[in-house]
Amino acid sequence: MIRLFALLFVTLLPTIAAAQSEEIVLGLSRDEVAITATFNGSDVLIFGAVKRDAPLPEGGPLEVIITLAGPSEPVTVRRKERILGIWANRDQIEIDAAPSFYAVATSAPMGDALSAVEDLRHNITIPRAVNASGAPSELMDGLAFSNALIRIRAGEGLYQVLDSTIDFEEETLFRGQITLPAALTEGDYAIRIFLTRGGMIVDDYETTIVVYKAGLERWLYETSRNQPLFYGLMSLAIAIAAGWLASAAFRVFQR
């Protein structure tokens, strides 16, 4: 038994040494994003380096994977069917947790940078990040619902797959950019960086950036939550004023 443990230790020693000798040193172009009345999206530049205490280990090229995830929330996905000429909701599932925004960028094609085992362990790809365990047992195609959610949000720019977009020089310096769309949810956005070799993760790093409403957007949001009566009256007054101005402008142009 002792000889068996010794053999296993000797076999795993190069992997352990590689994991300890390569570490991520990270930098961000910003650590917060303010949503204002004129906000139409923003870019987040993620850059860093690989710190080494030993020469480059063997086992294939080193790759970098970066994920940026917004706050997760439960989502109900419904499927419509045409019944007697009318489109109606038929089946539905509750997705327990789906990130409001999710982007994954890599320095190489995902199939080369990450193994299925590591993806299952760390939930890195978009299908793994969307937890659809709430599908009823009688639905044989429950996966189609989560795929539909992914397809819809990808079309809105909320889910992004950025294969081979990370610049990685000499397996030391890396740089990636992720574009945030205008339709963002407030909260902490988690950034994860993974170093992989041969599809296996050798080091990882986590940090966050904060997305928050500011200026007029913040005031309107707080007013709608804390003073709903005043907010409703103000909205009504603005609608009446806008209608009157539009009518007055129409009459002027008619003359």
CA distance 5 to 230: 72
Residues 204 and 248 in one domain: no
What mean pLDDT comes out for the span 11-20? 44
Residue 97: the pLDDT is 83
User: Is residue 225 located within the same domain as residue 149?
Assistant: no
- Mention every residue, 6+ apart, whose C-beta is less than 8 A from residue 243: none
Residue 11 lies inside a defined structural domain of this protein: no
Tens of pLDDT, residues 65-86: 999 999 998 888 877 766 766 7
Enter the tokens of residue 63. 């790759």
Q: If we measure between CA atoms, which residue out of 207, 229, 239, 248 comes closest to residue 48?
A: 207
When divided into structural domains, the chain yields a total of 2
Split at pLDDT 50, 70, 90, the class of 230 is low
Query: Is 3 a domain residue?
Result: no
What are the pLDDT digits (tens) for 147-178? 888 999 999 999 999 999 999 998 889 999 99
Residue 144: give its domain's CATH number.
2.60.40.3880
Domain span holding position 128: 18-212
Task: Tell me which of 234 and 49 has the higher pLDDT.
Answer: 49
In this prediction, residue 135 carries a pLDDT of 47
